[in-house]
Amino acid sequence: MSTRRLLNEQIERLWNGGEIELVRRNYRADCVDHMPVPGQQAGLGGMEEVVRAFRTAMPDLRMTLHGTIVNGDRGCDWWTLTGTHTGPLFGREPTGARVEFSGIDMVRTDGERVAELWHVEELLQFEMQLGDLPGGFGAPTEGYAPTDSGPYDPGAGAWTPDPGTLSELERRNLAVAREHIEEIWAKGNEDAARRLYAPDVVDRNPAPGQRAGVDGILDVLGWLREAAPDLRMAIGAYLVEGEWAADRWVMTGTHTGAPLMGLPARGRRFRINGMDVVHIRPDGLIDQVFHVEEFASLRAQIG
């Protein structure tokens, strides 16, 4: 079974179709979920319970799969979930709220089953749509850990596809994707942002009130670094296929500066996971950005 088929079945048959038996069929018994939902039990049983819980809480749940990227035994998908909260969910009583939030998944397979799973969802947005005080999904993150001292090379530990398996276009796009996250977001390089983003770039997951285009993205870059001047990132992996590229990362910092997510600085450390998917035009400019961060966890850690 190909990596792409496993990704497609994860969305279309497991989550949309409710075929819970696919967990045992498509995931190894020792599959590692690197980013479990807070409170999720270990093992395949915990994964089954999460799917069952969301589908019970939202019987009309629907995931729209936007795309997949595959490099050998590594793959990525990105999606948007919609549904109506009509049943209990992790202790939350039904609200009747209509919800919509996005997520990105990455997997490593053994050719037949998923061996490792990474995933980030917009759980802060989900909480706020339910009317909850943000933070219920805010468990501290685990995973690939950057160092906070010594030489700073955000991409040094990243997994990347074998260049020999990539086309000339894909090798170019991998370089663009690396510069995008390592220079703009990991180092705050605004010149790189103005050089790499198309003037009409679309942020598919904008912050509330974010301006359109490059200026809006630079606003977000600015307020994040004003809030955490010591911000650092470590990239865990890159994937690229055709005009699409993806990455996953861990961000650390100390909230000592400007207010962050509406909260005043209390000098608290934070560590969160995130993932990005970008579309790169033939001229090498990024014109679409999908991104998901553990902002529920961030708010819980600093607030």
Residue 147 has pLDDT above 60, yes or no: no
pLDDT in tens, 24-72: 999 999 999 999 887 788 899 999 999 999 999 999 999 999 999 999 9
CATH architecture of 163-302: Roll (3.10)
Residue with tokens 């005009």: 243
Mean predicted lDDT score pLDDT of the chain:
92
Summarised one tens digit per residue, pLDDT across range 67-89 is 999 999 999 999 999 999 999 98
Out of 3.10.450.50, 1.10.10.10, 3.30.200.20, 1.10.287.3240, select the CATH number for domain 3-130: 3.10.450.50
Mean pLDDT of 134-148: 48
pLDDT band at 151; cut points 50, 70, 90: confident
Q: How far is CA 87 from CA 91, 102, 280, in A?
A: 10, 20, 41
Which of 97-101, 132-136, 213-217, 219-223 is the least confident region? 132-136
Angle at CA of residue 98, ends 121 and 290, nearest 5°: 30
Q: How confident is the model at residue 303 (pLDDT cuts 50, 70, 90)?
A: confident
Determine the average pLDDT of the residues in 293-303.
92
For the segment 220-238, what is each residue's pLDDT rounded down to a tens digit? 999 999 999 999 999 999 9
- pLDDT score of 166 more than 70: yes
Give the pLDDT score at 92: 85
Mean pLDDT over residues 172-184, rounded?
A: 98
Whether 135 has a pLDDT exceeding 50, the answer reads no
| Whole-number pLDDT of residue 209 | 86
Domain boundaries, the chain: 3-130, 163-302
